[in-house]
Structure 1
Amino acid sequence: MKDLFSSGSELYRQARPQYSQAVLDEVLRHVSQRECAWDCGAGSGQFTQMLAPFFKHVMATDLSAAQLAQAPQFSNVTYQAQPAEHSTLGSASVDLVTVAQAIHWFSFDAFYAEVRRVLKPDGVIVVLGYGLIQLQNTELNQQVHHLYSDILGKYWDAERRYIDENYQTIPFPFKELQTPEISLEYQWSGQQLLDYLNTWSALKHYQKAQEQNPQMVDALAEIQHFLHNRTELWHVTFPVLLRTGVLD
């Protein structure tokens, strides 16, 4: 499992989109018992905090201790820095395993073996995430997609393709349950959009390769110029990637 987000953990926590109630409802409707949930690759706890009210105990793990340090605290949540492929959870102890925007970084075979070990016989695994941002404003959308594909294309890690392919090409060796199409929709300020773009791992790779600040990327500068002195909110949408399975 790669750790690309320890650097800039606070910005990641603040700028990444939050999952909706519709996503949470879809996850929970398959879970018959709610003793223990494992949120793996939890990062700064974006999805952990949504699970906390519904389970007696939530174990949230991530390779990055810096990310976990940004997560909100709950009396029934335990945060531990450990790899996805080797947890400290007991065998057949977990009702729900969730992986939010992280499965593409894992060693699939080793992680799924661990999932099979820790899940109860009627347990559920949910892999979720969000795809490429879409903006209602056509010009701004074109600029963001130009940055994503044309400027940063070669700087994305190879695993990013799984997101571009809507998680449909990841291995998923479970009995799969049908899930609906869901989108995340927000009204963002220009600064919120820029903060989100600055969490892109490809920008960090570009910065290292070019030895310059990501803000100096011409395509990003064009977006900054477009947003300069504009106070309106921008309608943004993220398609939700969602796969749900049970032991077969």
Structure 2
Amino acid sequence: MTSFTDHFAPVAADYGRHRPGYPPALFAWLASLAPHQALAWDCATGTGQAARGLAEHFQRVLATDASNAQIRAAEAVPGVDYRVAPATECPADDGSVALVTVAQALHWFNGDPFHRELRRVLSPAGLLAAWSYGRLETGEPALDALLRALHDETLGPWWPSERRHVLNGYRDLALPFEPLETPDFAMHCHWNLPQLLGYLSTWSAVARCRQATGQDPLADLAAALAARWGDPEQSRTVRWPLSLRVTRASGAPAHA
């Protein structure tokens, strides 16, 4: 990160409450490939969604974020050490980290300085795993059309330019080390209408629009969704396909 812009400080508490968690199978798969389970680093942890999943498999998880507000809103979990730090300053010893994860945040980074820090902290044969998720799907064409219109039209002018990397699955971002083949993973939530609207309120474009215009871009959408949702307390399945890239540093693991 060259100059850090905290897009999520105004919604940090809501981010912690409303952002979906990642599939447990993702963390189990990554842990199975890691050269050891002593230490993982969740870089740009936000409010700790990925860090909590890593804590099921690693003895210690360093969870860092440049945002004070996000770290303050993070849920305390045994084994997770939250720190305020940029992506270029990991509070870990040289060669000590088995796995570095970057969940829904790589698009904010300045690549070269972050890559130098990766090379410093990763163990031999250590892993970098970066993933993103873009548009959500409900499987209901009328609902999905409303959500696409919000994302592409209503909020189009308010998305930071980095959003394009999320939508193309990080395909155009350079990563160091040897790429690995990855399985398909997806996030699933069973949400009622207020929960869905809570999630939408955490989008950076929503916060930017509210700050700049004083208007709530979700107000009209909420009414339109309610007309098609039915009972607002009825749960529907919401799905996000994950775009996952994993690379491995050179060297043999210490236990080999």
For Structure 1 versus Structure 2, the TM-score category normalised by the shorter chain is over 0.9
**Deviation by residue 1:1-48 (Cα, 9 ceiling, x = unmatched):** 332112221111111111112211222221131111111001111111
Give distance in 2, aligned partners of 1:170 and 1:224: 38
Is 2:10 the counterpart of 1:7?
Answer: yes
Over aligned residue pairs, what C-alpha RMSD do you find? Answer: 1.6
Q: 1:193 aligns with which of 190, 193, 196?
A: 196
SS of equivalent to 2:91 = coil
Q: 1:148 aligns with which of 145, 148, 151?
A: 151
Unaligned ranges ≥5, structure 1: none
Relative to 1, partners in 2 of residues 1:76 and 1:235: Cα closer, same or farther, differing over 3 Å?
closer
How much has 1:201 moved relative to structure 2?
0.7
Relative to 1, partners in 2 of residues 1:210 and 1:72: Cα closer, same or farther, differing over 3 Å?
closer
Which residue pairs with 2:55 in the alignment? 52
Which residue pairs with 1:174 in the alignment? 177
Contact 2:23 2:185 in 1 (8 A): no
Give distance in 2, aligned partners of 1:53 and 1:23: 12
SS of equivalent to 1:99 = strand
How much has 1:117 moved relative to structure 2?
0.8
Percent identity of paired positions between Structure 1 and Structure 2 = 35
Give distance in 2, aligned partners of 1:3 and 1:180: 32
Which residue pairs with 1:101 in the alignment? 104
Matches within 5 A, 1:1-248: 1=1, 2-216=5-219, 218-227=220-229, 229-248=231-250
How much has 1:172 moved relative to structure 2?
1.1
Contact 2:133 2:167 in 1 (8 A): no
Which residue pairs with 2:254 in the alignment? none
Contact 1:187 1:233 in 2 (8 A): yes
Aligned length: 247
The one-letter amino acid of 2:199's match is: Y
Relative to 1, partners in 2 of residues 1:209 and 1:58: Cα closer, same or farther, differing over 3 Å?
same
**Deviation by residue 1:46-66 (Cα, 9 ceiling, x = unmatched):** 111111132222111001122
Contact 2:55 2:78 in 1 (8 A): no
How much has 1:169 moved relative to structure 2?
1.4
Give distance in 2, aligned partners of 1:24 and 1:199: 24
Contact 2:107 2:165 in 1 (8 A): yes
Contact 1:47 1:100 in 2 (8 A): yes
Which stretch has the larger CA shift, 177-186 or 228-237? 228-237
TM-score, length-scaled by structure 2: 0.90
Unaligned ranges ≥5, structure 2: 251-256
